[in-house]
Amino acid sequence: MRIAVDAAGGDHGPAVIVAGAVDGARRFGVDLLLTGAEAEIRRALFAHDTAGIDIVVEDAPETIGGDEQPAQAVRRKPRSAIAMALDAVRDGRAAALVSAGNSGAVMAGALLKLGRIRGVDRPAIAGYLPSMTGKTLVLDMGAVTDPRPSHLVQFAQMGSIYIERAFGVERPTVGLLSNGEEPSKGNQLVQETFPLLSIAPGIDFRGNVEGNDITRGIVDVIVTDGFTGNVLLKTAEGAASLINATVRRRLTANPFRTALAAMLRPAFDEARKDLDYAEQGGAPLLGIDGVVIISHGRSNARAIANAIGVAKRSVDGEVPDTIARLMATLEPAREPAAATG
Amino acid sequence: MRIAVDAAGGDHGPAVIVAGAVDGARRFGVDLLLTGAEAEIRRALFAHDTAGIDIVVEDAPETIGGDEQPAQAVRRKPRSAIAMALDAVRDGRAAALVSAGNSGAVMAGALLKLGRIRGVDRPAIAGYLPSMTGKTLVLDMGAVTDPRPSHLVQFAQMGSIYIERAFGVERPTVGLLSNGEEPSKGNQLVQETFPLLSIAPGIDFRGNVEGNDITRGIVDVIVTDGFTGNVLLKTAEGAASLINATVRRRLTANPFRTALAAMLRPAFDEARKDLDYAEQGGAPLLGIDGVVIISHGRSNARAIANAIGVAKRSVDGEVPDTIARLMATLEPAREPAAATG
C-alpha cells in the first residue's frame, strides 16, 4: 500500500512532514508518494534511513497559501502538492492522502477529484478527542457549518462505520451534542435531528450529550454541526493552554517549587503525551470516495506519522466502500430534496 | 442595599447558600433577604456571626425541582423561593436576586415578574471565563438557543454596558465567535451578524474571534448564540476535568512522585483558585428590568459570596437603567419585526 503525503502542507515546513512520513511508513509498513518541492523533499529524505520503503517523489511547483479561496486555488493550481497527491489517489497510484495543508483546499480538491460517495450529501471531518475512557470521535469538525438534520444522521452513520472498521470498535454508540440531556433540549437543528437519529438504521443512538460528555467518554461518536465542532475543539485547546500556563506559573513561583517541579518533569511529559492531539492522528474526511486524512496545520512529525496509521487503517477497513454500501441500502428511502446536496 | 438570595437553590443545600450569603454580605457591605425553608435557614444562620448584617428571612413552602418545566413551575408555585425573592425585587424590598437554583425557572420568573427592558428582544446570560489576561465575558451562555442576528447585536451592547458599569472596563472591545477570523467565516447566523455588529452603536467591534481566543483574552466581550455558549462552557469544564485527572494520575504513579507532588500542593491549589469559576462570581441575566444573578448549581459558599459582589456592582453601576437608556436611543431605528420578540 502506498500513501500520498502532501509534503508542502503544515506550519513547520517539508522537513517535518517528510520526517513524519518516513517514520509512519516504517511503523505501519506502507510505501510513500510525496508531493511538493522536489529538491526540498529529497534534501529532507537524505536525513533519514529510508531503506525498505519505496518512495516516489513528485515535484509540485505551485503552492496554495493558507488564505487562498480553497476551491479556486485547487482548480487554478493543478500542479500544487494537494492537487497532485489527489490525482495520485484518483488514478490508483496511492491508496490515501495525508495532508496538513489548507484544509479548505483539501476538502475542495477531494470533492473535485475523488467525488462524494453516492447518497452522502455532505462530507464531514471526523476528529478523535482524548477522553477519560480513551477517545471520543466528534464530527463534524468544520466542513459543514449549517447542516440539515439529515446530514447529521449521515455523520452518525459514517462516524460509526469509521471507528468500527478502522479501529475495531464494536457496535459504537452515538450521542447528539446538545445543551442538555433531555430530548426537549437543543437548538432547532438538534431538536429536529433527535427523532431522525432515534430511528436511523446502522447506528446505536443514545440520546443527547453535553459538552463535558466529550471528555467523559460516555459515547463513542458525538455528532454536531461543523460550526459548533470547530468552536469546541478550539475552546478545549484554549482551555488546555490556559491551564498549562497557569500551573506552570505557580510551579515556578519560587526556586523551591521550580526545583521540585523539575524533578516531576517526566510525569508532566507523560500527561502531556496522554492528552496530545498528535497521538490521535489525523481526522478523516468521511463521505469522500477515497481515504483523505486531514492533519492539524501545527502537526509535528509524530502527528504526521500517526496520520499515516489512520490512513492505513481506513484503507484496510475499506471505510469508503462500507459507507457506500450502507448508503446504497438507504438510497430509495431518502427524501429527494436531500439527494441534490 | 439589600440583596435577595434564593436559599433553596443549588446542589449543596441551604447551609452552603446561607454561608456564602452571610460571607458576601459582610465582604460587600449589603443586607440580605433570604427565601426558602425558614427553619433550615435559621438553623444555618445560627452557625455564623451575623452581627451588623440586617437579615430578613421569608419562608417559602413550595419547591421547584431541577427537572420541572420552568415557566409553569414559577406560575404554579408563587410561594417558591425563586418566586418570592423575585417578588421582593419587583416590590423594591431587595435590590437584586442571587440564585443557584433551576436557571430556567429563574429566567422564566424574571421575565414574568420583572419583565424585559423596553427594546431588548431576548435577555441573555453573561458569564465571565478566566483568560490569560484576566477574564472574558461570554454571552449568551444558554438563554437563547436560536437567536437572530439583531439579538446578538443587543448581546454585544448589553455585555459592553455590564462590564463597563459593573467592572469599570473602559471602552470594552467585542468579538463575534466564529470558526475563523476572516469576515467570510462562520455559519449563517454569524455571517449575517458580522455586518450588523460593524455598524452597531455603543460597541467597539473587533471582528471574528475563535474558540481559543476566549482564554487568550484578546477582546473583553465575546458574543455567540446560547447553544454554542452552553456547549463551549461545558467543553472547557470537561477539558479541565480531564487534564486534572490525567496530571493527577501521572503525579501519583509512584511513591517518589506522590511525595514530591504533595510538597507542591500549595502551587496546585493556587492554580486551581486562579482558574476557579467560583472566583468569577455569578452570571447576570442581562436585558431584565432588574438585577438577577444566576449562579452555577454546583456553587460553593465562595461562589455565592462572589455572586453577591457581582449583584452589588450591577446595582451600583445601574446596569439595567444604562441598558434601558441605550435601547431608548436606538428604539426608532429598530426593525418593527424585532420589537415583538
Between residues 205 and 244 of chain A, which touch chain B (CB distance below 8 Å)? 210-216, 224-228, 230-243
Q: Dmax of chain B from CA atoms?
A: 70
**For an interface test with A, which of B188, B208, B213, B215 has the most A Cβ atoms less than 10 Å from its Cβ?**
B215
**B228:A230 CB<8 A:** no
Q: How far is CA A11 from CA A85, A114, A299, B91, in A?
A: 18, 26, 7, 61
Query: HSE of B299 in the Cβ direction (CA atoms, 13 Å)?
Result: 38
Nearest Cα to A160, choosing from A170, A151, A152? A170
Chain B residue numbers with beta carbons less than 8 Å from the beta carbon of A186 are 145, 227
**B262 at A interface, C-beta within 8 A:** no
Determine the pLDDT at residue B340.
44
Of B215, B242, B251, the CB nearest to A215: B242
pLDDT digits (tens, 9 = 90+) for A180-210: 998 889 999 999 999 999 999 999 999 999 9
Neighbour count for residue B132 (Cβ, 10 Å):
14
Chain A residue numbers with beta carbons less than 8 Å from the beta carbon of B152 are none
**B3 at A interface, C-beta within 8 A:** no
Asked whether the ipTM of the predicted complex exceeds the cut of 0.85, the reply is: yes
Determine the pLDDT at residue A228.
98
Determine the pLDDT at residue A341.
39
Nearest Cα to B103, choosing from A208, A178, A180? A180
Nearest Cα to A234, choosing from B181, B48, B262? B181
Determine the pLDDT at residue B213.
95
Strand A134-139 with A221-223, pairing: parallel
Q: Dmax of chain A from CA atoms?
A: 70
Neighbour count for residue B89 (Cβ, 10 Å):
24
Domains of chain A with bracketed CATH: 2-120+287-317 (3.40.718.10), 126-277 (3.40.718.10)
Assess contact for B222 and B175: CB atoms under 8 A: yes
- pLDDT of A252 higher than 90: yes
- pLDDT of A6 higher than 60: yes
Assess contact for A41 and A319: CB atoms under 8 A: no
Determine the pLDDT at residue A192.
97
CA–CA separation, B68 and B64 (whole Å): 7
Determine the pLDDT at residue A340.
44
Strand A291-294 with A134-139, pairing: unpaired
Neighbour count for residue B106 (Cβ, 10 Å):
29
Mean per-residue pLDDT for A22-50? Answer: 96
Mean per-residue pLDDT for A222-236? Answer: 96
Determine the pLDDT at residue A278.
66
Residue type (1 letter), B117 = I
Neighbour count for residue A180 (Cβ, 10 Å):
17
CA-based end-to-end distance of chain A: 33
Mean pLDDT of chain A: 93
Of B233, B238, B261, the CB nearest to A214: B238
pLDDT digits (tens, 9 = 90+) for A72-123: 889 999 999 999 999 999 999 999 999 999 889 999 999 999 999 999 999 9
- φ, ψ of residue B82 to 5 degrees: the values are -65, -50
**A179:B239 CB<8 A:** no
Residue A161's beta-bridge partner residues? none
- pLDDT of A135 higher than 80: yes
**A247:B233 CB<8 A:** no
Cell numbers given for B133: 489576561
Q: Nearest residue on chain B to A188, judged by CA atoms?
A: B146
Determine the pLDDT at residue A253.
93
Kindly state the helix (H) or strand (E) to which residue A126 belongs, with its residue range.
strand A124-131
CA–CA separation, B210 and B182 (whole Å): 10
Chain B residue numbers with beta carbons less than 8 Å from the beta carbon of A210 are 230-231, 234
Chain B residue numbers with beta carbons less than 8 Å from the beta carbon of A187 are 145-146, 225, 227
Determine the pLDDT at residue B341.
39
Assess contact for B122 and B287: CB atoms under 8 A: yes
* Cβ contacts of A202 within 8 Å, gap of 6 or more: A157, A160, A161, A326, A330
Between residues 83 and 112 of chain A, which touch chain B (CB distance below 8 Å)? none
Assess contact for B107 and B123: CB atoms under 8 A: yes
Model confidence at A70, in pLDDT bands (50, 70, 90)? confident
CA–CA separation, B236 and B243 (whole Å): 11
Peptide bond between residue A140 and the one before it cis (omega within 30 degrees of 0): yes
pLDDT in tens, chain B (341 residues): 999 999 998 888 899 999 999 999 999 999 999 999 999 999 999 999 999 999 999 999 998 877 778 888 899 999 999 999 999 999 999 999 999 998 899 999 999 999 999 999 999 999 999 999 889 999 999 999 999 999 999 999 999 999 999 999 999 999 999 999 988 899 999 999 999 999 999 999 999 999 999 999 999 999 999 999 999 999 999 999 999 999 999 999 999 999 999 999 999 999 988 888 767 779 999 999 999 999 988 889 999 999 999 999 999 999 999 999 999 998 655 554 544 43
Determine the pLDDT at residue A117.
97
Q: Which residues of B217-245 are buried (b: 16+ CB within 10 A; e: fewer)?
A: bbbbbbbbbbbbbbbbbbbbbbbbebbee
Where is pLDDT greater, at A223 or A337?
A: A223
Mean per-residue pLDDT for A153-161? Answer: 98
Between residues 179 and 208 of chain A, which touch chain B (CB distance below 8 Å)? 179-180, 182, 186-188, 190
pTM of the entire structure? 0.92
Assess contact for A124 and A284: CB atoms under 8 A: no
Model confidence at A332, in pLDDT bands (50, 70, 90)? low
CA–CA separation, B259 and B257 (whole Å): 5
- pLDDT of A279 higher than 90: no
* Cβ contacts of B27 within 8 Å, gap of 6 or more: B305, B308, B309
